[in-house]
Structure 1
Amino acid sequence: MTLKQLEALYWSSVLGSFALAADRLFMTQSALSKRIQELEAEVGVQLFDRSGSRARITEVGQEVFAKAEHILRLRDELLVSARGPRRVKGTCRFGISELMAMQWLPQLVSEVRTDYPEVIVEPHVALTQELLDDVERGESDFAICPGSSQDPEIVSEPISHVELYWVGSPSLFRKKDIVTLESIQSHPIVSMSSQAGSTMLLQSFAQEHGLKFRRILASNSPDAVAAVTIAGLGIALLAGPYVERFIREGKLCRLQVEERLRVPKLPYYVHWRADNSRILARAVRDIALRLCKGEGGSISH
């Protein structure tokens, strides 16, 4: 029995896929399957049920998995004890929203390289729901994004709140105009897809307050949403730190809205699976938490 065989079992169980586990371990699927078959031959029982379209871990496999996880954690602790934290090796995959990437990614990567020079970081920039799905499936070690997971096994640590601005083209609104619900409904709402954190918040807010908006979907890119809004095709609800540059340039104006249109700040979190006890994942996650909380709970412009 080898540690490599236990790693193959661990990631195949966590990710629920031999193909994803092989990708995580930088090997071919056939090589990973061979390691698991060798482990099964040694323990004398089948660890995965391969009768369906996807291999599923068996009841005995779950017991072996728990012990394999413990052994791998002890391996990591031993290496840290012997080499020191700066000699930790491995790959940490994490998800991050576009706004957080603009704000924190360069500094996060820089600090990881300083503290753990032999660690490889693989950030994935995407929309909120995709990032949460990746964490739930175990494909990402953590994610920095807004939103909340319905999975009770996901831990979400709050890090900041971002103010959302109603914005429109100066050709449609004057700076001092108070925009009412009636006037805002005469223009379509330009929004990102339903997977974006700001869109999720708007939908929830509208449902809670009985508001109805005529939405047009521009793109998964905030730049595209901004461009459509600048063109005067509608109004948008976007993160303040993102649209400040367009406001300064006179391309957009921040709308002064009546009380019932004031949307709460968008909360951001670091999300991770409670059962992810990997030392490397925790180390990089702790750096992310420290950086993102360093602004006193708000995102700078």
Structure 2
Amino acid sequence: MTLKQLEAFYAAATAASFALAATQLHLSQSSLSKRIGDLERHLGRVLFDRSGHRATLTQAGRELLPRAREILAAADALQAAMGQQAPLAGICRFGVGELAAMTWLPRFVARCRRDFPELRLEPHVDLGQALEERLESGELDFAVVAGWSSRSTLVSQTIAKVRYGWAGAPELLRGHARITPRTLQETVVITMPPGAGSTRIFDAWVSAHNLDVPRRLTCNNMTAIAGLVSAGVGIGFFPEGWLRPLAERGAVQLLESDPPLRSLHYSFQCRRDDIRAILPALRERVMQEVDFSAPHPLR
């Protein structure tokens, strides 16, 4: 029995498919299957039931899973203690939201290229709900998502907090600088779709204060929302650091609300059963570079 065989078994047992497990380990699917087959022959037990559409763990496989996790974690700890950890290499697919993509993502990728030249990063930009689904299925290695995940298979660690503020076009507001219940009833409110973290804090704010928002427009791109707000279509809310340059250019007018929208926490999310050393290393780099108020290099 070898560590590579246990690694192949563990990846296949915790990923959504053998194909995704092979991708995680930078193997062909046939190589992954061979390692698992060799392990089964060594143990004299069948670890996966391959009779269905998707291979599932047998009773022997379920018994082996926690023991394999312990052995692999101990091996990683031993290599770290001896200073013999292999350099991070291969492909890492991760997800972020639009705000991260427009602020700190370029610096993070550049930092990882310097620190881990053999590692190739593939960022995917989407709404938080979609990223969590892809992370849970094994399509992504980690994600930076607004809020905390309610999925038992994922673990979330808070890495940043972002404050949001309201804005509208000066000609639409006619000198009014405060959000009131009447404003929300008479004016179109433009938000991201329900799967976005910013929309969740807005919905919680509306519910907590028994407010009525009958006129609502949904758009899945924050830059497009800013354009709609600037054109006088309606009012919207944005991260304060991202909103400030728009106000300074006169594109929008800042608004106050009482009470204000609560801050939105962002978290580093990964699968609870993913014990690879790549995750702590990348989480550390994310925490070093994360800054949701930073200007995009091309802005």
TM-score for the superposition, normalised by structure 1: 0.84
2-structure distance, mates of 1:11, 1:199: 35
SS in 2 for 1:237: strand
> Given residue 109 of structure 2, which amino acid in structure 1 is its aligned partner?
V
Aligned residue for 2:248? 248
Find 2:264's aligned residue among 243, 263, 266.
Answer: 266
2-structure distance, mates of 1:36, 1:85: 24
> Given residue 284 of structure 1, which amino acid in structure 2 is its aligned partner?
L
2-structure distance, mates of 1:135, 1:52: 24
> Given residue 217 of structure 1, which amino acid in structure 2 is its aligned partner?
T
> Given residue 279 of structure 2, which amino acid in structure 1 is its aligned partner?
A
Q: State the identity %.
A: 37
> What's the CA shift string for 1:108-144, capped at 9, x where partnerless?
2233233333333332222111223334344433322
> Given residue 117 of structure 1, which amino acid in structure 2 is its aligned partner?
P
1-structure distance, mates of 2:231, 2:189: 13
1-structure distance, mates of 2:288, 2:218: 35
Q: Are positions 1:215 and 2:216 aligned together?
A: yes
Q: Is the 8 A contact 2:94 2:142 kept in 1?
A: yes
2-structure distance, mates of 1:178, 1:82: 60
> Given residue 148 of structure 2, which amino acid in structure 1 is its aligned partner?
S
Aligned residue for 1:147? 147
2-structure distance, mates of 1:159, 1:299: 14
Q: Is the 8 A contact 1:48 1:57 kept in 2?
A: yes
1-structure distance, mates of 2:4, 2:72: 10
Q: Are positions 1:290 and 2:291 aligned together?
A: no
Unaligned runs of 5+ in 1: none
Map 1:163-174 → 2, pairs under 5 A: 163-174=163-174
Q: 1:114 to 1:81 in 2, by over 3 A?
A: farther
- The runs of at least 4 consecutive aligned structure 1 residues that moved more than 6 Å come to none
Q: 1:157 to 1:45 in 2, by over 3 A?
A: same
SS in 1 for 2:42: helix
> What's the CA shift string for 1:25-72, capped at 9, x where partnerless?
444545544443343333322212234432221221123233333444
Aligned residue for 1:183? 183
Q: Is the 8 A contact 2:202 2:261 kept in 1?
A: yes
> Given residue 277 of structure 1, which amino acid in structure 2 is its aligned partner?
I
Q: How far did 1:255 drift?
A: 1.9
Q: Are positions 1:57 and 2:33 aligned together?
A: no
Of the structure 1 ranges 18-27 and 207-216, higher mean CA displacement relative to structure 2 is found in 18-27
Aligned residue for 1:124? 124
Q: Is the 8 A contact 1:86 1:116 kept in 2?
A: no
Q: Is the 8 A contact 1:168 1:232 kept in 2?
A: yes
Give the CA RMSD over aligned residues. 2.8
Q: Is the 8 A contact 2:14 2:273 kept in 1?
A: no
Q: Are positions 1:18 and 2:18 aligned together?
A: yes
Q: How far did 1:199 drift?
A: 0.6
> What's the CA shift string for 1:11-33, capped at 9, x where partnerless?
22111312322333444545544
Of the structure 1 ranges 177-186 and 85-94, higher mean CA displacement relative to structure 2 is found in 85-94
Of the structure 1 ranges 131-140 and 179-188, higher mean CA displacement relative to structure 2 is found in 131-140
SS in 2 for 1:87: coil
Q: Are positions 1:276 and 2:271 aligned together?
A: no
> Given residue 155 of structure 1, which amino acid in structure 2 is its aligned partner?
V
TM-score for the superposition, normalised by structure 2: 0.84
SS in 2 for 1:255: strand
Q: Is the 8 A contact 2:26 2:90 kept in 1?
A: no
Count of aligned pairs: 294
Aligned residue for 2:233? 233
